[in-house]
Amino acid sequence: MHLKLIFNQHNAGARSWQPAVFKMAELDADLVHIVPSSILPPFWAKLVVGLVSLICFARSYDGDFVFDDSEAIVNNKDLQADTPLGDLWHHDFWGSRLSSNTSHKSYRPLTVLTFRINYYLSGGFHPMGFHVVNILLHGGISVLLVDVFSVLFGGLQYTSKGRRVHLVPRASLLAALLFAVHPVHTECVAGVVGRADLLCALFFLLSFLGYCKAFTESNKEGAHSSTFWVLLSIFLGAVAMLCKEQGITVLGLNAMFDVLVIGKFSMLEVIQKVLRKDKSLESTGMLRNGGLLFRMTLLTCGGASMLYVRWKIMGTGPPAFTEVDNPASFADSMLVRAINYNYYYSLNAWLLLCPWWLCFDWSMGCIPLIKSVGDWRVIALAALWLCLIGLIFQALCSEDSRKRRILTLGLGFLVIPFLPASNLFFRVGFVVAERVLYLPSAGYCMLLTFGFGALSRHTKKKKLITAIVLGILLINTLRCVIRSGEWRSEDQLFTSALSVCPLNAKVHYNIGKNLADKGNQTAAIRYYREAVRLNPKYVHAMNNLGNILKERNELQEAEELLSLAVQIQPDFAAAWMNLGIVQNSLKRFEAAEQSYWTAIKHRRKYPDCYYNLGRLYADLNRHMDALNAWRNATMLKPEHSLAWNNMIILLDNTGNLAQAEAVGREALELIPNDHSLMFSLANVLGKSQKYKESEALFLKAIKANPNAASYHGNLAVLYHRWGHLDLAKKHYEISLQLDPMAAGTQENYGLLRRKLEQMQKKDG
């Protein structure tokens, strides 16, 4: 095989080639005791990485939709066929309009598009298909990293036939394996919403490899081919950004790679020339390299264009986060902010180093603020910067050019994709988030692999290093399997967080919500109270706790909690509505009406609030106001069965049978399979003596819900009126079997029995 260096036009003379080949292969020689040669061919290396990555997270394939999946997928109308595809480009990740002041501003239309395709192919919200795609994406990214690490560790060397030479197969394989089995990735892979990070990473890596292609063909086809690959790389970066905002940072990594590897820039050389006042500094080859400057211009213009378009799309400016989301960013003192931001960085570093304590959410008191330099946790950020300064010094000033390049690229891959989450440029809506470490972890794996190589080179205990590496791979794989199991259901996920973040109010809130959904109100109250104790301004916990207390008829405390919630957050529409329901139950009708209208003021399209307002007016015998409120509810939400039913019943009770029938027929056209609407309309038709049609609707309703005692009881009344007494007797008896205490049915059944006895006497 004949090797040739393709960068001779970038100050890479022939005399530098032989040492470069030797040093590129040196890292692999250090790892010869760790990675067996039998799996080094690219195909087998990628196969091993792919299989290992799938094994780690396969356990999550049949998991539920958990945590944020509910809002981003189950409740996101953008996934459904009746939402025009064009709306995806005007909505945020959660389905809200970007122009709305309440929008999260997370613009990821391509990720939502993949969810929509999943929804279509699965025939609905069946989580297995969503999970399988995530697992396969992680496997594909891990495989792709074999090539990426090969370039980062070994540079771009080609044969005379233009094929890239894998100079460091052991290093690239080990780094890719470390990435594939890292437990911090579980949130991205096992949580369906993590697909945003996965897709972003996929196109990020493709963009980087595309940029490398600019130098594959440059000798053969000239500048036009090189420009094409640079532009394609920028396009793929834009695609990555449309999957998640972090994608734009690939342009920074591409620029760093170009300067360090292609341009062969050396900070050490520059420093030495500055110290010697060497005039040759003015004629540094990199500064005179027109190709490099042209590519940097393209990258800069591409990045600026992406940012401009992104800012225009956001419409109303950046999202508004609350203090509980990111308390450090609300600190008055710049020193306090700086200390806490750096402490958060140290926690992220610790999650990469020791990913044993993982949590689905790190906000709401999970990490108390550091308010003075006397806090012992300052040691963590001091340790972080001590390590970083050491690495940066070696990356800039080491005499070994290979070491400088690998450390700088590793640090770049670690830091550059993390910048959007760093709070340096804008406030973010979280304290620590495991998902944002998906891409930066590749840089960490690169540095770790280099570190193992250095250790192996400087110690005679090769077997010990091998045992440590294998131990890390096995332990991390086991942790991935365990953690994937925890992400399969909300029960396990939320409970697992208690041991990691016992001070996190959101953890207690989510456990309480889960228990309440399952009907365990007593346990739910306990967790909701703890959430409010940990965070006295947690309005959502107050709202949910108030709802449960309302259902348990503990109305005074419910009113106090809900009043406090709307006092803390005056635009909390749901709390205003629930406060109105409690006030209505307390017979404080004027206050209830005011609360309902306040809720509607803050959320104009609020069908449930109009429904409850209609109930209030019905209680006050303001029938027209009640009908108008329920009509508003059905206009905003045509499938609002309760509002339709109440309109039919109110019109029926007030003797407006023709109008009640018209409303009932209109409702059934919109919701044809709703048995409660069939029942209500059947009652109206029976009173209008349309017995045959009424009977058909009753029977259809009973078929849909055969254990409803009232359905059988009212059908019996219909037969009683109609003169079909045997059928009436049959359905009275079925109704009483289902509900023996139904007084009205008992009375009607008694009347029927007396009538039958009288008829028997007459016949006798």
Tell me the three state secondary structure of residue 264.
Answer: coil
Residues above pLDDT 90, as percent of the chain = 61
Structure token pair of residue 105: 């501003």
Closest by Cα among 126, 97, 419, 468 to 249 = 419
Higher-pLDDT residue of 8 and 207 is 207
pLDDT at residue 425 greater than cutoff 70: yes
**Bridge partners for 91 per DSSP:** 97
Rounded distance between C-alpha atoms, residue 214 and residue 292, angstroms = 11
Amino acid 13: pLDDT: 34
In this predicted model, what pLDDT tens digit does every residue of 391-416 receive, in sequence order? Answer: 998 888 877 888 888 999 999 999 99
pLDDT at residue 144 greater than cutoff 60: yes
Q: Band the pLDDT of 279: cuts 50, 70, 90.
A: low
Tell me the three state secondary structure of residue 471.
Answer: helix
In this predicted model, what pLDDT tens digit does every residue of 290-340 receive, in sequence order? Answer: 678 888 999 999 999 999 888 888 765 667 777 777 888 888 889 999 999
Q: Are 489 and 66 in contact (CB under 8 A)?
A: yes
Structure token pair of residue 6: 């393709």
Tell me the three state secondary structure of residue 4.
Answer: strand
Residue 186's CB is within 10 A of a number of other CB atoms, namely 28
pLDDT at residue 79 greater than cutoff 50: yes
Question: Mean pLDDT throughout 739-754?
Answer: 88
pLDDT at residue 491 greater than cutoff 70: yes
Long-range contacts of 660-666 (CB under 8 A, 24+ apart): 660/684, 661/685, 661/688
pLDDT at residue 19 greater than cutoff 50: no
Rounded distance between C-alpha atoms, residue 510 and residue 588, angstroms = 32
Q: Band the pLDDT of 550: cuts 50, 70, 90.
A: very high
Burial of 733 (0-12, 13-18, 19+ CB in 10 A): middle
Question: Mean pLDDT throughout 737-747?
Answer: 89
Residue 338's CB is within 10 A of a number of other CB atoms, namely 14
Q: What is the CA radius of gyration of the chain?
A: 34
At residue 277, what are phi and psi to the nearest 5 degrees?
55, 45
Task: Kindly state the DSSP code that residue 230 receives in the 8-state scheme.
Answer: H
**Bridge partners for 164 per DSSP:** 158
Amino acid 271: pLDDT: 65
Higher-pLDDT residue of 37 and 79 is 79
The string of DSSP letters for 708-762 reads -HHHHHHHHHHHHHHT-HHHHHHHHHHHHHH-TT-HHHHHHHHHHHHHHHHHHHH
Amino acid 24: pLDDT: 44
Give helix 462-486 / helix 440-458 axis angle, nearest 10°: 160
Distances (CA, A) of 457 to 22, 34, 451, 465: 15, 12, 10, 10
Amino acid 285: pLDDT: 52
In this predicted model, what pLDDT tens digit does every residue of 251-276 receive, in sequence order? Answer: 999 999 988 888 777 766 666 666 66
The pTM assigned to this predicted structure is 0.83
Amino acid present at 392: I
Structure token pair of residue 381: 């950020």
